[in-house]
Structure 1
Amino acid sequence: MSSFIISKYIPILKTIRDYKKENIRKDIVGAVTVTVVGIPQYMAYALIAGVSPVYGLYTGIIAAIIGSVFGSSNQLITGPTNAICLLTASAMIRYMNLPNAYQILFLMTFLVGVLQMLYGVLKLGKLVDFVSHTVLVGFTAGAGVIIALGQLKTFLGISIKSSSAMSTLEKTYYIITHIRQTNLYVLGVGLMTIAIVVVCKKIGKKLPGALLGITVPIIFIIMFDLEKKGVKLIGTIPSALPTFKMVQFSFDSLKDIFRGAFTISIIGLVEAISISKSIGTKTRQKIDSNQEFIGQGIANIVGSFFQCLPSSGSFSRSAINYISGGTSRFAGILSGVFVAIILVYLAPYASYIPSAGLAGVLIYTGFGLIDKEEIKKVARAGILSSDSIAMWVTCVLVIILPSLDYAIYAGITLSIVLYLKDTNKAPVKLLIPTPGTESQTVEQEIKSVKGKVDVLIIQLEGNLYFGAASDLGVKLESLISKSRVFILRMKYVTTIDLTSLSTLKVFIRNVREAGGIPLISGVNSELDLFFKKTNLESDIGIENIFRSENEVFASTTNALQKARASLNCGIGDKAQKSATCTLLDLVSTFKG
């Protein structure tokens, strides 16, 4: 039992115990492919965060290994991602010119990890559900635009003084007004990188386009001595592994960075869980959200002591790992090991990588974040639909607001408000029994009751909570004078709270005062118990409540029989019966 518990919280132990030899080659191929694709991403994403590319490589080593050891998914690759690095840059913009900027950055990585681990320990796996898919689509689209615009000055070779204090839109305006200062050699290198990436993608998805895009231009830089013509290189990268350094704790710093860390912790988990579940649907692996929270948290906590940026699950690298055949968490661990080996032995050559090349990779990646298919799906739902409004508002706010966490909070708040607006409408269907074929009685749905009918079936549906109670009350009140017998069908009600129940009680009382007869059908065991506890039985009479039975429409059939009796059908000569009574005589063959 104890070994099972340990394996639950340290999933790598179960992987070791159940590992099959035939998976070794698959995991190595997956790890190599992830490494080749990941190295230029790690370096480029570090530039988004506003730090040296080496810190992106450090994060690609530590986060990939620790995330795979403790995470829930077999294929998830943890490391720096474009969205998380963009949020990091937004949170750190006030501190990057300070002498202790990197200490604050690593403290934020630590705080992100603590928050994520706390969510997992408290089993708050449902927390990610509050960030709607459309908000995430809007955020990533806006983030893609910001990433692309943020790299324009490097891509064009335009120097901007005090650019760290300027917003992305301010930088973009400056570039547009100073476009004549473009260095054509720098622009050529950037365009060459994008062209190589695009061509590689056209030829085959397995080609490492980003890696070739930043290494091929090195040949031209050396041949034509382009460094003297203004083409800047990323500079020296230490050929050493990240070393342990104690995080510098400060209460004031923790208080200052908490808001940014909280946003990063939530968005990081949304990324990791959505990616894990997406791949899990194909591999049939059940993802434990709380364990993934803990795994991501530990990866960030450990990473903070090895100069790592905040990290999360990467969709592109995880997908590549899965497509390349990676079957276990060893693929993620090996990818971190391979990055470490390359850092130690090939770091000196990386100093020749042009900054414009990395900017080209980021511009291409930025526009790739704009998920056109998802945007089309949301747009097809209607430009004024809740999903569409939440997506576009989030996207625009990401672009125009100086602080990205405000855009995220606004998007989440807006999606919740719009959801509540949509759910405060009580779903009510109106049905009347009508003659069918072969002496059967069927139900006919009507939009409204123009005259007065003898029997009206009111079908309630969904979650009848306090937000929908007002709308429910208005709809029921308008029907009181429309019928003699009302059958409230509760079969499709999932839950009902006290506020909505009070609305039903008011309706029942008003129907009786108007001389009508209220009946309730389709009551399941949970609703039956709830009605007993809340004394509804005494309000309507236990004989007027018809419980759900195994036979389809049985409770409604019983309610119609009661309606037949209530209307005095069956008394006197059949020829003198009302049309409704004649119809209700067919109730034994009622088909619903």
Structure 2
Amino acid sequence: MLKKTLDKLDYSTSKDDIIDDITAGLSVAAIALPQNMAYALILGLDPIYGLYTSLVSMFIASFVGVSNYLIVGPTNLIVVAIASGLSGISSDQYLEAVLLLTFMMGVFQLLLAFFKLGDLVNYISRSVIGGLTAGVAIIIFSGQLDNLFGLELPSAPNVFMELYYFIINIEEANLYSVFIGFLTISILILLKKFRPGMPNYLLAMVIPVGLVYLTGWHNNLEVVENFPARLPYFSTHSLDLGFIAEYWSTALSVALLGFIQTLSVIKSLELKSGQEVELNQVFLGQGIINLGCSFFSSFGIAGSFTKSYTNYQAGANSRLSGLITAITVTLFIIFFSPLAGYIPIASLAGLVIVVAIKMVDFEEIRNSFKNRFDSLIFMATFITTISLPRLDYAVYFGVIVSFILVLKNTSSLNYSHFEYEDRGEQFHRREMSEIENGNFDKESYILINLAGNINFNASENLKHNLDESYVKDQVFIIRLRDVENIDLTSLKELESFIDRVSDSGGQVILCGIDSKIYQMFVRYGIVNKVGRDNVFKADDHIFSSTRSAIEKAREED
């Protein structure tokens, strides 16, 4: 019976695989329990709603998901976007507003997936996402300082005012909160550094809770209110047309933001696991999950980097691991709810601050500033994110900038294969179908010619063509004589192809590179990756560097 059920759900029925899925599910739960309670705190809700969201989203995802490794749930980006969008709602109507906005998110995501418009997030620049993520990290950091220090601060329209209020009220800090908050941060950092195999998020909560329980400090600092051992129950929405008319743009922006974050997680998992999924099916699943969450006291979700990577690294084989996570959260709510009264708010704030700092990808920022085009987009999005009173404005700004660039630069890619005839010393165009079907003489190389302005909107076409050209254990010559520019997003696809070829025992040789492209490849480490001996610069004679590359390839054969 169990085997038939697992088969129907596309779960592995191997005993070893099931054990691995259970282990992965428990590992994710160890992170999800404290993290998702903290995310509810960012949103301005009781931490129990973070647990509800984790339980409901993972349960639904285990049935409608398509990725074996993707873990959905509350995320930094989504909760900040919802909180900033609903900042004007009164406290007595706030929960209903959050649930209705989550319902609207689900509707928008289903519509976008149904009309296959969700794929448009592929064309949003990597630098826009980087600037948005860095800005949100700053917002989260500043927004949790009051909880970390036990302060009561007035609401502020942006980061700068939050920091101002914090500084002028710092003398009123609660020392118990400060101690517990920094204890949590220290545990997270030290365990990560010296005991990376241990459940650092879980221990960073268990130790402070134990300390508060033993010392009686729950009377000296703010703690989570006791919540009943009750699971989320079904409830319908009151469709307030006035609310829908006022907040539809907020719901749409958060829906798009959820797609963007989930896309980033999926792309990263593809590189690690090799599992490719249909993006539109992923987006359709996101809409279904958000709709389901809205009816069961849960707020908006997206793909989670931290929990998805934990799931993959812990050895997950199927979506069963997500179901195990949901079951674990359920058992915690039922049996461990009395502990809630000893969970310090400062400890949750410390956890959130560490997660926020980890959101900032400093290497990605450095890469953005190596290119004037990417650096301008990054800075514009970052400043917009931390300056404007609502995050959805920054989301729309990033989307508009990206689409303007798409209109300016065509997404078509000038990509072709050449072959060299020794007798006549002539180059001829080779049909792509010959490479795809393997209907060509097994030469010592495959010659790819790239041309034009290769920006982020052509990156998907570049990845597709490189995948079609790929042959295991083969030497590839990539000619870039007519490439005017290549941005960070497309460069990442080229780098992934080089890694793939290298891992399979092949080799990549670059030729026809002008001085500008060469310097860019040096800065990004591409030259070191392929080896300086495998890079041939362009000169005044057309195809001369290509001939040199061909000679090099034949020597390697």
Partner of 1:33: 27
CA distance in 2 between counterparts of 1:24 and 1:11 reads: 10
Deviation of residue 114 (structure 1)? 1.1
TM-score, normalised with respect to structure 2: 0.71
Cα 1:422–1:54 change in 2 (3 A) is same
Instruction: Trace 1:184-583 onto structure 2 (pairs within 5 A).
Output: 184-229=175-220, 231-381=221-371, 385-418=372-405, 462=452
Amino acid at match of 2:165: Y
Partner of 1:447: none
- Work out which structure has the larger RCO, using CA pairs closer than 8 Å and 6 or more positions apart in sequence: 2
Q: Deviations over 1:269-290 (max 9, x none)?
A: 1211221232133332221111
Amino acid at match of 2:136: A
Q: Deviations over 1:559-579 (max 9, x none)?
A: xxxxxxxxxxxxxxxxxxxxx
CA distance in 2 between counterparts of 1:310 and 1:461 reads: 42
User: Residues 71 and 294 of structure 1 are in contact (CA less than 8 Å); yes or no, is this contact kept in structure 2?
Assistant: no
Q: Deviations over 1:78-118 (max 9, x none)?
A: 111111001010111111x2532211211111111111112
CA distance in 1 between counterparts of 2:210 and 2:424 reads: 88
CA distance in 2 between counterparts of 1:362 and 1:355 reads: 11
The reply to whether residue 94 of structure 1 matches residue 88 of structure 2 is yes
Deviation of residue 257 (structure 1)? 1.8
Q: Which one of the candidate residues 42, 50, 62 is aligned to 2:44? A: 50
Partner of 1:181: 172
The reply to whether residue 159 of structure 1 matches residue 158 of structure 2 is no
Partner of 1:133: 126
Cα 1:376–1:216 change in 2 (3 A) is same
Amino acid at match of 2:184: T
Cα 1:272–1:344 change in 2 (3 A) is same
**Greater Cα shift, 212-221 or 172-181:** 212-221
Please provide the CA RMSD for this pair: 2.9
CA distance in 2 between counterparts of 1:396 and 1:298 reads: 33
Amino acid at match of 2:396: Y
CA distance in 2 between counterparts of 1:462 and 1:218 reads: 59
CA distance in 2 between counterparts of 1:72 and 1:460 reads: 34
- SS of 2:14's equivalent in the other structure is coil
Q: Deviations over 1:156-179 (max 9, x none)?
A: 12222xx34654432220111222
Cα 1:121–1:224 change in 2 (3 A) is same
User: Residues 34 and 321 of structure 1 are in contact (CA less than 8 Å); yes or no, is this contact kept in structure 2?
Assistant: yes
Deviation of residue 492 (structure 1)? 8.3
Equivalent residues, number: 425
Cα 1:19–1:291 change in 2 (3 A) is farther
Cα 1:80–1:322 change in 2 (3 A) is same
Q: Highest CA radius of gyration, 1 or 2?
A: 1
Amino acid at match of 2:129: L
CA distance in 1 between counterparts of 2:159 and 2:360 reads: 18
CA distance in 2 between counterparts of 1:324 and 1:314 reads: 15
CA distance in 1 between counterparts of 2:126 and 2:353 reads: 24
Amino acid at match of 1:79: G
Deviation of residue 129 (structure 1)? 1.6
User: Residues 84 and 391 of structure 2 are in contact (CA less than 8 Å); yes or no, is this contact kept in structure 1?
Assistant: yes
| Dislocated runs of 4+, deviation >6 Å | 438-442
Cα 1:397–1:208 change in 2 (3 A) is same
CA distance in 2 between counterparts of 1:441 and 1:330 reads: 57
CA distance in 2 between counterparts of 1:273 and 1:386 reads: 23
Cα 1:492–1:184 change in 2 (3 A) is closer
TM-score, normalised with respect to structure 1: 0.67
Deviation of residue 22 (structure 1)? 2.7
Q: Deviations over 1:200-255 (max 9, x none)?
A: 101233322222222212233234332343x1111112211101111221211111
Deviation of residue 12 (structure 1)? 8.2
CA distance in 2 between counterparts of 1:61 and 1:191 reads: 29
Cα 1:127–1:68 change in 2 (3 A) is farther
- SS of 2:10's equivalent in the other structure is helix
The reply to whether residue 112 of structure 1 matches residue 110 of structure 2 is no
Question: What is the percent sequence identity of the aligned residues?
Answer: 34
Partner of 1:144: 137
Cα 1:358–1:151 change in 2 (3 A) is same
Q: Which one of the candidate residues 54, 63, 84 is aligned to 2:78? A: 84
